[in-house]
């Protein structure tokens, strides 16, 4: 499944569905920036992997509902763990990036005695 993680949209859709079942349009609004095409592609992939169940209500205006399966729920839980970790450590990462970027943007200052503090 590490390859499914490599799929940015899949992760976001799973997170969105973790908050409850959604219809197609709802889901699109719940995942800002996703195009109609990618929503279709992503949902199909998730359904195929057994992480999401797709229910079609054959009403007058077509209505399709997407919800996590037990498997998908487990996956969502794992992803939430990752998300929590990333939130917790984002500051540290941002600091590391800032330090790194500052470092190689001053290639040749007369004296750069490792400016610390």
Partner DNA sequence: CCGTATCCCTTAGGATACTG
Partner DNA sequence: CAGTATCCTAAGGGATACGG
Between 58 and 61, name the residue whose CB sits nearer to a copy of itself.
Answer: 58
Residues facing residue 52 across a β-bridge = 68
| Out of 4, 15, 21, 26, the residue judged to bind DNA by CB under 7 A | 26
Distance, CA of 79 to CA of 15 (rounded, Å): 8
Binding partner of 19, given a copy of itself, DNA, none, CB within 5-8 angstroms per partner class: none
Report the nearest approach of a copy of itself to the CB of residue 28 (Å): 19
Q: Is 11 helix (H, G, I), strand (E, B) or coil?
A: helix
Binds DNA (CB under 7 A): choice among 12, 21, 64, 73:
64
CA-to-CA distance for 112 and 116, rounded, in angstroms? 10
Smaller CB separation from a copy of itself, 56 or 60: 56
Which residue among 25, 29, 57, 89 contacts a copy of itself (CB under 8 A)? 89
Site for a copy of itself in 29-48 (CB under 8 A): 47-48
Paired strand residues for 66: 22, 54
Q: Which residues pair with 55 in a beta bridge?
A: 65
Does 4 bind DNA (CB under 7 A)? Our answer is no
Nearest to 7 by CA among 29, 39, 30, 36: 39
């Amino acid at each position: 499944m590490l390859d499914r993680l490599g799929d940015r949209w899949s992760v976001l859709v799973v997170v969105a569905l973790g908050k409850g079942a959604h219809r197609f349009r709802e889901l699109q609004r719940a995942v800002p920036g996703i195009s109609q095409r990618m929503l279709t592609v992503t949902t199909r992939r998730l359904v195929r992997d057994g992480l999401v169940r797709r229910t079609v209500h054959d009403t007058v205006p077509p209505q399709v509902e997407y919800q996590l399966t037990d498997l998908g729920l487990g996956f969502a839980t794992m992803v939430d763990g990752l998300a929590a970790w990333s939130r917790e450590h984002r500051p540290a990462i941002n600091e590391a990036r800032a330090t790194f970027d500052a470092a190689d943007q001053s290639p040749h200052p007369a004296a750069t005695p490792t400016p610390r503090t």
